[in-house]
Structure 1
């Protein structure tokens, strides 16, 4: 691990010198050494400067995992811009909203992905703040390709880009990551270069990410797990990054065998799928060393099977949220299977975790309370939303997570419930208020309530209870098809039940516990 580095552009300069000809990224036929990566990010930074991107401007990326994503992100960081990662599952209207609210000036996006040409989804909705759209792969003739973008670098001297990168300070924003909330609209979480680098240096040390690791990143780069605990941590440590665009269990296992992957984080769904695959015993997974999971509860038996049947020497879990740069607690690799499965570990150095009662007092060990986090990793606030920031972070600097948990006498955290209605589908956070807002845009829907229901493979999936407008008809499959066209796939309810009225309490609030009790 390198000594403390204050900013991401300075980090990349340092690792380029330290690891030089070691391969930094291997993505299909593209193999970039650390020196080549440094040169590409400076070239892309010059191109952004030629386009007029200034410090503190926003630059968005809407694309699956690929080497261009990393170069574009590092270029944005290097010119002092704030990176805005966008979920590839989002549809045009959702993306346009984030672009407009963030004021992003440049958008990097994929061309064709999962049977859709992504720029087409924005064609009629592109906000006026977006001055340039750069298509990373598969640009149509009338679109700006990655190659055309890079050609813009010729208009900015290399020395100017180097000076701009040196002007970036640890306290400057590195990213603006939009996460949903109970208001039903995504909120932009602001974090800085310094806090992210400090956090993931500590995380990497605990989980055992090290120089020479071959890191297969299935977690999407638009998520903190794939971005910060993913390629950023990997580059900090001198690992080789192997981006994977979609999760196909057999393709992942074949890539592990072919590329001798050593480091494979992911949600429990990933490992369960590998264990259940009929050809697992015929594929060489012996290179695997470290698994880091989270986002959903796991059973002690799964930890044991990951060690015994998948060959992981290290299996650990962590807990965090976007508002604390992605992580706050982590288990030690030498913890027993029960601890790794039942807890989310202990707070990393410089971070405090408290379980508090309704009055804000810390509850005794073993007693449930709302999980609060305080430390250097807590976000700088929600973008352009001081009211929501004040609601989330109190006057003493505690971030109120909305999760219910308990600390044991060792200081290990166990998440027991969610104060908010959030549920997790295969590792993706789903917020009912946001899904309900989107469903209410259907012309036949009068009222709707969404709750998370248990599901074996994904952990939880959404179910919608719908009250239709008078005199209209709508069936379950039609509403699900409509949902797939208007929201990210993981948000789409897996089932719909039509009701005459939703159960409400005396104040008129929907009683979601009553809906959960009805089951699937």
Structure 2
């Protein structure tokens, strides 16, 4: 019987693949057997610090072997994983901690030259947190005297793993859903594993594959279609903390990387890299892209110039991870202009107003502590209302044509203008503001802020950088006398976009 919890899947992978490399990062190689041992050890320490089943653990850091161990140890101990965007500010992470009542926080202190632990402690009272730790060293620092640190026997750790059920909440990934405030999309173990299995089967992933993971682990794609796919297939994963095109090409050539999923910007960077002609990238066999409009010529160049045999596009969202996917052999035009067909276990249809509706095994359980938003997103028949306007051809291939929401995608990351606007309205000299996504050759889209007031463009950008992750910071600022609004007072963002 196939494993349907993450602890069971990890044990199965260790038994099946044993001494085969599971992760390679720099000079470090970790086998599947080693991975299980490291996860069991950390899970024991988490339990010793008082972590109870179903409690939440926030992990804040870039891709690394330690991130993987921390995430898997969380679920092995029967707790729930809450990944935080590595580029978030301490204020944003503090909000996740407060809203999830997380009892443990693991932070990669010093990433990008910042003092994350000190900043987080300053930004939040951390009332629920009993243990904090430095993710880079997998250390834990007990907080508070209500639960004493204790030694935990191996059989207690295994009992925790045994007690995890397929329908237990494995992870809570934050997304904005249908409004500007972040919501926690909850997925069960069976869902996280099931969607990874469907993707791996469509991609033909095997233990012979070497998978360069540029997609961040805090994102559903890097975590579920990265870490979990590796456990399912025995593929060796190469985590990348920050994308550097020269380093990426060197890794592909030296390690004979076969899988490189990522946003279109990754492949555009490879195609335009000055040193590409001197690199041998012929080992690449599968590339999966999406998250933005993909030019037909990009798909053609990926196949012809990068020599990637299988280039496909897909559509997904945090609330459903992967919904549609192209198949091997689809023509370049179809791959570039559609997101493919529904994957096994999922179905699609077009609802009122052209809105894409999706239903199936991998639609989230719901939003954390928000039954109203859950009911708004998932109707009584189980259809998830995506907020995207789309079309389906006779074969079921999906084409996204517009958004009902104002969300835009910058470098593969969702940006929700309402959140940016809320932050900018706190700046003295900003009387009114609206943010829209505008086209950008490298990032797909970037933010443009239309500002009413006396604050300068430099002041607006600097203020945003202090409070928001870099990908949310507007790249353009335009001053305007008054924002265009309809009779009900809603900003007419279509007018702002058309004038940009």
Report what 1:207 is aligned to.
203
Q: Which of the numbers 180, 185, 189 marks the counterpart of 1:189? A: 185
Asked if 1:175 corresponds to 2:171, the answer is: yes
Report what 2:145 is aligned to.
none
Q: Which of the numbers 6, 9, 24 marks the counterpart of 1:8? A: 6
Report what 1:128 is aligned to.
127
Report what 1:506 is aligned to.
487
Deviations 1:12-34 (A, max 9, x none): 00110100000001111221100
SS, match of residue 12 in structure 1? helix
Report what 1:65 is aligned to.
63
Q: Distance in 1 between matches of 2:2 and 2:397?
A: 27
Report what 2:425 is aligned to.
440
Query: 2:262, 2:289 within 8 Å by CA — same for their partners in 1?
Result: yes
Q: Distance in 1 between matches of 2:370 and 2:466?
A: 29
Report what 1:363 is aligned to.
none
TM-score normalised by L of structure 2: 0.97
Deviations 1:242-267 (A, max 9, x none): 00000111111111112111110000
Q: Distance in 1 between matches of 2:308 and 2:141?
A: 42
Matches within 5 A, 1:46-445: 46-126=44-124, 127-137=126-136, 145-147=137-139, 155-324=151-320, 326-358=321-353, 369-445=354-430
SS, match of residue 344 in structure 1? coil
Q: CA RMSD in A?
A: 1.5
Deviations 1:59-90 (A, max 9, x none): 01000000010001001111111100000111
Query: 1:20, 1:35 within 8 Å by CA — same for their partners in 2?
Result: yes
Aligned residues: 494
Query: 2:428, 2:455 within 8 Å by CA — same for their partners in 1?
Result: no
SS, match of residue 270 in structure 2? helix
Report what 1:464 is aligned to.
449
Q: Distance in 2 between matches of 1:498 and 1:298?
A: 31
Q: Distance in 2 between matches of 1:101 and 1:260?
A: 43
Query: 2:133, 2:139 within 8 Å by CA — same for their partners in 1?
Result: no
Q: Distance in 1 between matches of 2:213 and 2:5?
A: 23
Q: Which of the numbers 469, 480, 489 marks the counterpart of 1:488? A: 469
- Structure 2: runs of 5 or more not aligned: 143-147
Deviations 1:130-162 (A, max 9, x none): 22211022xxxxxxx524579x99700001101
SS, match of residue 465 in structure 1? strand
Q: Distance in 2 between matches of 1:148 and 1:441?
A: 36
Query: 2:56, 2:80 within 8 Å by CA — same for their partners in 1?
Result: yes
Q: Distance in 2 between matches of 1:90 and 1:224?
A: 16
Deviations 1:74-122 (A, max 9, x none): 0111111110000011111111111100111101110111121211321
Report what 2:25 is aligned to.
27
- Structure 1: runs of 5 or more not aligned: 138-144, 359-368
TM-score normalised by L of structure 1: 0.93
Q: 1:309 to 1:441 in 2, by over 3 A?
A: same
Q: Distance in 2 between matches of 1:100 and 1:207?
A: 38
